[in-house]
Protein backbone atom coordinates (compact mmCIF):
# COMPACT_ATOMS: atom_id res chain seq x y z
CA UNK A 1 0.00 0.00 0.00
CA UNK A 2 1.41 3.40 -1.01
CA UNK A 3 0.31 6.40 0.99
CA UNK A 4 1.32 9.93 0.04
CA UNK A 5 1.42 12.65 2.67
CA UNK A 6 0.81 15.74 0.62
CA UNK A 7 -0.58 19.17 0.14
CA UNK A 8 -3.18 19.12 -2.60
CA UNK A 9 -2.33 20.91 -5.80
CA UNK A 10 -2.97 24.57 -5.06
CA UNK A 11 -0.02 26.74 -6.14
CA UNK A 12 1.98 27.90 -3.15
CA UNK A 13 4.46 30.71 -3.62
CA UNK A 14 7.39 31.59 -1.43
CA UNK A 15 7.14 34.97 0.22
CA UNK A 16 10.88 35.43 -0.17
CA UNK A 17 11.29 36.26 3.53
CA UNK A 18 14.34 34.83 5.25
CA UNK A 19 13.57 32.67 8.25
CA UNK A 20 15.30 33.06 11.61
CA UNK A 21 17.90 30.58 12.79
CA UNK A 22 16.51 27.44 14.44
CA UNK A 23 16.76 27.06 18.21
CA UNK A 24 18.10 23.55 18.95
CA UNK A 25 17.34 23.94 22.67
CA UNK A 26 13.60 24.51 22.22
CA UNK A 27 10.84 21.92 22.47
CA UNK A 28 7.35 22.41 21.03
CA UNK A 29 4.31 21.76 23.22
CA UNK A 30 1.15 20.94 21.27
CA UNK A 31 -1.99 21.26 23.36
CA UNK A 32 -4.87 19.38 21.73
CA UNK A 33 -8.38 18.31 22.65
CA UNK A 34 -6.95 14.80 23.10
CA UNK A 35 -4.05 15.87 25.31
CA UNK A 36 -0.51 17.22 25.12
CA UNK A 37 2.22 16.24 22.64
CA UNK A 38 5.84 17.33 23.14
CA UNK A 39 8.23 17.49 20.18
CA UNK A 40 12.00 17.89 20.07
CA UNK A 41 13.66 19.25 16.93
CA UNK A 42 16.44 17.95 14.70
CA UNK A 43 17.80 21.44 14.10
CA UNK A 44 21.10 20.18 12.74
CA UNK A 45 19.51 17.84 10.21
CA UNK A 46 16.63 20.10 9.14
CA UNK A 47 17.44 23.70 10.13
CA UNK A 48 15.02 25.32 7.66
CA UNK A 49 12.05 23.15 8.65
CA UNK A 50 12.86 23.58 12.34
CA UNK A 51 13.08 27.36 12.00
CA UNK A 52 9.84 27.46 10.00
CA UNK A 53 7.87 25.47 12.57
CA UNK A 54 9.30 27.44 15.47
CA UNK A 55 8.52 30.75 13.79
CA UNK A 56 4.92 29.69 13.12
CA UNK A 57 4.57 28.50 16.72
CA UNK A 58 5.78 31.85 18.07
CA UNK A 59 3.26 33.64 15.84
CA UNK A 60 0.39 31.51 17.19
CA UNK A 61 -0.21 30.19 13.68
CA UNK A 62 -1.27 26.71 14.78
CA UNK A 63 -3.86 27.83 17.33
CA UNK A 64 -7.25 26.49 16.28
CA UNK A 65 -5.94 24.21 13.54
CA UNK A 66 -6.87 20.53 13.52
CA UNK A 67 -5.30 17.19 12.95
CA UNK A 68 -7.45 16.75 9.88
CA UNK A 69 -6.15 13.46 8.54
CA UNK A 70 -5.46 10.02 9.97
CA UNK A 71 -3.59 7.61 7.73
CA UNK A 72 -4.46 3.96 8.21
CA UNK A 73 -3.92 0.70 6.40
CA UNK A 74 -5.92 -2.48 6.70
CA UNK A 75 -3.51 -3.68 9.38
CA UNK A 76 -2.05 -0.63 11.07
CA UNK A 77 -2.36 3.00 12.15
CA UNK A 78 0.29 4.87 10.21
CA UNK A 79 0.27 8.64 10.85
CA UNK A 80 -1.70 11.76 11.75
CA UNK A 81 -1.49 15.01 9.78
CA UNK A 82 -2.15 18.60 10.82
CA UNK A 83 -1.04 22.19 10.44
CA UNK A 84 -3.35 23.41 7.66
CA UNK A 85 -4.80 26.88 8.35
CA UNK A 86 -7.86 25.92 6.30
CA UNK A 87 -8.95 23.63 9.13
CA UNK A 88 -9.65 26.60 11.41
CA UNK A 89 -12.75 27.77 9.58
CA UNK A 90 -12.43 26.62 5.96
CA UNK A 91 -14.57 24.23 3.95
CA UNK A 92 -13.57 20.65 4.90
CA UNK A 93 -13.11 19.98 1.21
CA UNK A 94 -10.10 22.33 1.31
CA UNK A 95 -8.43 20.71 4.31
CA UNK A 96 -4.96 19.59 3.33
CA UNK A 97 -4.67 22.06 0.49
CA UNK A 98 -3.04 24.90 2.39
CA UNK A 99 -3.36 28.52 1.32
CA UNK A 100 -1.79 30.40 -1.60
CA UNK A 101 1.11 32.58 -0.52
CA UNK A 102 2.31 30.40 2.35
CA UNK A 103 6.09 30.39 2.63
CA UNK A 104 7.59 27.19 1.23
CA UNK A 105 10.55 25.33 2.68
CA UNK A 106 13.06 23.46 0.48
CA UNK A 107 13.55 19.74 1.03
CA UNK A 108 16.00 18.61 3.72
CA UNK A 109 16.09 14.85 3.23
CA UNK A 110 18.20 12.91 5.69
CA UNK A 111 20.34 9.87 4.90
CA UNK A 112 20.38 8.80 8.54
CA UNK A 113 17.00 9.75 10.04
CA UNK A 114 14.20 7.30 9.31
CA UNK A 115 10.42 7.48 9.52
CA UNK A 116 10.07 5.39 12.65
CA UNK A 117 7.35 5.65 15.29
CA UNK A 118 7.19 9.16 16.79
CA UNK A 119 8.94 10.96 13.93
CA UNK A 120 7.63 14.39 12.88
CA UNK A 121 7.99 15.15 9.18
CA UNK A 122 6.87 17.84 6.74
CA UNK A 123 3.93 17.25 4.40
CA UNK A 124 4.26 18.53 0.84
CA UNK A 125 2.72 18.37 -2.61
CA UNK A 126 3.32 15.03 -4.30
CA UNK A 127 4.93 16.57 -7.37
CA UNK A 128 7.22 19.12 -5.69
CA UNK A 129 9.75 18.15 -3.03
CA UNK A 130 10.29 21.83 -2.17
CA UNK A 131 6.64 22.66 -1.44
CA UNK A 132 6.45 22.07 2.34
CA UNK A 133 4.72 24.87 4.27
CA UNK A 134 3.05 24.58 7.67
CA UNK A 135 1.65 21.06 7.47
CA UNK A 136 3.30 18.13 9.18
CA UNK A 137 2.64 14.53 10.10
CA UNK A 138 3.55 12.33 13.04
CA UNK A 139 4.28 8.66 12.45
CA UNK A 140 2.43 6.24 14.71
CA UNK A 141 4.19 3.25 13.13
CA UNK A 142 7.38 2.78 11.06
CA UNK A 143 6.96 3.96 7.46
CA UNK A 144 10.23 3.32 5.58
CA UNK A 145 8.55 4.09 2.25
CA UNK A 146 8.76 7.79 3.19
CA UNK A 147 12.49 7.79 3.93
CA UNK A 148 14.29 10.16 1.60
CA UNK A 149 10.94 11.48 0.35
CA UNK A 150 9.84 13.75 3.19
CA UNK A 151 11.83 16.08 5.44
CA UNK A 152 12.13 14.80 9.01
CA UNK A 153 12.55 17.66 11.48
CA UNK A 154 11.50 16.35 14.88
CA UNK A 155 10.44 13.55 17.18
CA UNK A 156 7.79 13.14 19.87
CA UNK A 157 9.39 12.87 23.30
CA UNK A 158 6.14 12.78 25.27
CA UNK A 159 2.54 12.13 24.28
CA UNK A 160 2.74 9.18 21.90
CA UNK A 161 -0.30 7.82 23.72
CA UNK A 162 -2.11 10.96 22.50
CA UNK A 163 -0.86 10.40 18.95
CA UNK A 164 -2.12 6.81 19.13
CA UNK A 165 -5.53 7.96 20.36
CA UNK A 166 -5.83 10.39 17.47
CA UNK A 167 -4.64 7.76 14.97
CA UNK A 168 -7.31 5.34 16.21
CA UNK A 169 -10.10 7.92 16.13
CA UNK A 170 -13.15 6.98 14.03
CA UNK A 171 -13.40 8.80 10.70
CA UNK A 172 -16.24 9.95 8.49
CA UNK A 173 -17.28 7.19 6.07
CA UNK A 174 -15.03 6.88 3.02
CA UNK A 175 -12.68 9.64 4.27
CA UNK A 176 -9.56 9.99 6.41
CA UNK A 177 -11.04 12.89 8.45
CA UNK A 178 -11.63 12.28 12.18
CA UNK A 179 -15.28 12.21 13.18
CA UNK A 180 -14.50 13.96 16.46
CA UNK A 181 -12.59 17.24 15.81
CA UNK A 182 -8.98 17.04 16.98
CA UNK A 183 -8.25 20.71 17.63
CA UNK A 184 -4.85 22.16 18.47
CA UNK A 185 -5.64 24.87 20.99
CA UNK A 186 -2.08 26.20 20.86
CA UNK A 187 1.54 25.35 20.12
CA UNK A 188 4.26 27.01 22.14
CA UNK A 189 8.00 26.63 22.69
CA UNK A 190 9.89 25.93 25.90
CA UNK A 191 13.58 25.53 26.60
CA UNK A 192 14.55 21.92 27.14
CA UNK A 193 16.09 22.88 30.50
CA UNK A 194 12.75 24.35 31.62
CA UNK A 195 10.55 21.48 30.45
CA UNK A 196 8.86 19.43 33.14
CA UNK A 197 7.97 15.97 31.78
CA UNK A 198 4.38 15.09 32.56
CA UNK A 199 3.48 18.69 33.40
CA UNK A 200 2.97 22.12 31.94
CA UNK A 201 5.83 24.54 31.29
CA UNK A 202 5.71 28.28 30.68
CA UNK A 203 6.20 28.89 26.97
CA UNK A 204 7.82 31.46 24.74
Specify whether the CB–CB gap between 79 and 5 falls below 8 A.
yes
Residues 6 or more apart in contact with residue 30 via CB below 8 angstroms: 36, 37, 38, 39, 62, 159, 184, 187
Q: Is the pTM of this model over 0.85?
A: yes
pLDDT band at 204 (very low <50, low <70, confident <90, very high): low
Q: 202 near 194, Cβ under 8 Å?
A: yes
DSSP H or E stretch at residue 32:
strand 26-32
pLDDT of residue 44: 96
Residues 80-129 pLDDT 10s: 999 999 999 999 999 999 999 999 999 999 999 999 999 999 999 999 99
Query: How far, in Å, CA of 190 to CA of 6, rounded?
Result: 29
- Per-residue pLDDT tens over the stretch 23-70: 999 999 999 999 999 999 999 999 999 999 999 999 999 999 999 999
What does the pLDDT look like over 158-179, one tens digit per residue? 999 999 999 999 999 999 999 9
CA distance 31 to 187: 6
Query: Which residue from 28, 1, 142 is spatially nearest to 79, judged by alpha carbons?
Result: 142
Question: In whole numbers, what is the pLDDT of the chain averaged over residues?
Answer: 90
Cα distance between residue 56 and residue 139, in whole Å:
21
Domain ranges of the chain: 26-191
The CATH architecture to which 26-191 belongs is Beta Barrel (2.40)
- Supply the pLDDT for residue 20: 75
Residue 10's pLDDT band (cuts 50, 70, 90): very low
Amino acid sequence: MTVVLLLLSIPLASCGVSEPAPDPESLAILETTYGQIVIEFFAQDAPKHTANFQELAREGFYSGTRFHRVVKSAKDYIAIQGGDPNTISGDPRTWGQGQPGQKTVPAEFSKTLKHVRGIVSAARKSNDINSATSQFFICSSPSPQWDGQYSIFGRVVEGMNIVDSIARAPVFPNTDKPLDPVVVSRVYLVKRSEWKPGGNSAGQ
